Amino acid sequence: MSFSDSDSSSHGGATEYKGFRQISRDRLLNEMLGSTRTGDSKSTWKVLIMDKVTVKVMSHSCKMADITDQGVSLVEDLFRRRQPLPSMDAIYFIQPSKENVVMFLSDMSGREPLYKKAFVFFSSPVPKEFVNHIKSDTSVLPRIGALREMNLEYFPIDNQAFVTDHERALEELFGDVDNPRKFDACLNTMATRISTVFASLKELPFVRYRAAKTPDDSTEAAFRDLVPTKLASAVWNCILKYKTSIPNFPQTETCELLILDRSVDQIAPVIHEWTYDAMCHDLLDMDGNKYAYEVPSKKDGQTERKEVLLEDHDPVWLELRHAHIADASERLHEKMSNFVSKNKAAQIQQSGRDGSEISTRDLQKMVQALPQYTEQVEKISLHVEIAGKVNRVIREMGLRELGQLEQDLVFGDAGAKDVINFLRTKQDATPENKLRLLMIYASVYPEKFEGDKASKLMQLARLPREDMTVINNMRLLGGSSDDKKKTGSFSLQFNAQKTKQAARKDRSGEEETWQLSRFYPVLEELIEDLSKGELPKNEYSCMNEPSPIDKGGSRRSTPSAPMQPSQISAHSMRSRRTMNWARPRNSDDGYSSDSSLRIASNEFKKMGQRIFVFIIGGATRSELRVCHKLTTKLRREVVLGSSSIDDPLLYITKLKLVSERELSVDNLKIQSWMP
């Protein structure tokens, strides 16, 4: 049993380049829902039944209107009491679990089934015993219109990002797991969901991963250190099965997958990221991507609460979300000024505010322009309000000074005296911001937290003792500080001429444009090294190591190779990153989220093979920004995957849940992870 042959694979023979999220959407709507509109079911309305996981899969890719267009009139929860509709067909999109199969059979068996016919689609590979169980029910079998594996069980949260919805991955994979079953369940489900990405896109990846560190031959790698290795092995085993079960699945590698964990960069999750998107999620009280605000009521003059989703359907958000907050504010002001100068209704309204008398002809023009004016000005005004609110919070919390200290620490321009001086003089800083500063300090200077030094710093910062748990748990994710100095998992880079340490080096060829735009996540360098075939083999291993002929990307087509300076567009990041940074509104610099998509759609023949990066333990908005930026720069679609996308406060909360106690390898039964 396997899903049907489709043209959703990446590049070969494709007539139109489709991005990662678009392929996911097309498969759900056309390959699944559309395939049920055949024969006597072609013109009839259907019921769509999903479980708690598949409803999330669907909602992350499709809107209700899309589903309705495919002939679905009702969406139901598998485990809720449902009204019998014996004249209608049903589409089941469910996980292949025992409970789901039992519920499906109870719906469709007997003399009076709930529905006329059932089209069953599983989100991931279904065990043979479940298939045999379904086939053994002779009353159900004639009522089944389709029984197929969709192999689509991931959650696209962006045009170039997905999550596996493992919010407790840090705790379950890196904590003190008393019951190894929880560890195995989390890891195996994560591997299954990651592998369905490649089944969906019909891509066969080179599976690379952060290798376990072994300080010397006499000691085994710590249990936590093996998590990327074990996940890579599980993903590869799933993909090997797809090679033989999915029609037209590629038999040679078509893309790259790099599996990492949070130990590669413990600074990115907590440092203040100064882009519009990151600032909104960091500083505003948002519920996911939902922003709530107050507007004057049209009825009684009172205010009413409105909610808006800051997502891809909003063109202003799509353009500005990866821009520096100062740049976004300037561009919003420019947009509003241009709109007022060009729009008749806005001009008339402005003249009315100036005290000028509005003529009847002017009123007529206002009415004619009003519908468009209202819609456009609301979109721009919303973002003007949001950016203004963000800037107010930045001023009130004194974040510019804190942000400068954070970045100076990371780049080796600040040290212990600067941190101590800040904690002494800025007692009004919020506990969260002081803790985030100390977490960055601990990443760069782990030795400053040895013995009783840590407790003294916490006392100086006036932080509660339980916050020390977060610092300790950072050590658990990254190993001992001695190991970090040797292996670089904290990304420490020492300079003998400096008394200060640095966790980053300034990017050559990229000048600082806006204040506080200096920081970049480690992921940026890793992806560039991967694209060039220069990942260190002693730090990053491969499950299916390419032959010597393939090394360095030579087996790939020319577009996949690194671009030469003469080939890079005039709008590439390095040529655009000048000190004035006064980009036009339609600049294609990689910071506008849709820039990479325009390149993909307009120049698909020039796009190289995809790069997938999966981060265990939560990814950050700065890492998502980097994936969009490098898609433009490398001409390769870079897709970010993670167990979750975490804002700083959420990440700190999760990190607190990771146990302080070391795991004993002897206390856990480690399954064989070698293929």
Q: What string of H, E and C letters represents the secondary structure of 328-379?
A: HHHHHHHHHHHHHHHCHHHHHHHHHHCCCCCCHHHHHHHHHHHHHHHHHHHH
Give the DSSP per-residue string, 430-466: -HHHHHHHHHHHHHH-GGGGSTTHHHHHHHHTT--GG
Burial class (CB in 10 A: 0-12, 13-18, 19+), 672: exposed
User: The pTM is what?
Assistant: 0.83
Give just the sign of the alpha carbon dihedral 619, 19, 596, 55. negative
Q: What φ, ψ does residue 84 adopt, rounded to 5°?
A: -65, 135
Residue 606 per-residue DSSP state: G
pLDDT of residue 366: 53
The kind and range of the H/E element at 632 are: helix 621-634
Enter the tokens of residue 177.
Answer: 């797991």
Q: How far is CA 375 from the centre of its chain?
A: 30
Neighbours of 37 (CB within 10 A): 14
CA distance 420 to 177: 36
CA distance 647 to 282: 6
Residue 642 per-residue DSSP state: E
All residue ranges of the chain with pLDDT < 50 are: 1-15, 215-221, 479-498, 550-597, 599-601, 604, 660-675
CA distance 404 to 411: 11
- Specify the pairing of strand 161-163 against strand 155-158: antiparallel
Residue 27 per-residue DSSP state: I
C-alpha Rg value of the chain to the nearest Å:
27
Burial 574-603 (b: 16+ CB within 10 A, else e): eebbeeebebeeebbbbbbbbbbbebbeee
Enter the tokens of residue 284.
Answer: 């505003």
pLDDT of residue 351: 61
Neighbours of 224 (CB within 10 A): 21
Q: No. of H helices and E strands in the chain?
A: 24, 14
For residue 238, the SS3 value is helix
CA distance 71 to 29: 10
Q: Are 319 and 335 contacting, i.e. CB atoms less than 8 angstroms apart?
A: no
pLDDT of residue 574: 25
pLDDT of residue 450: 85
Residues 6+ apart with CB under 8 A from 337: none
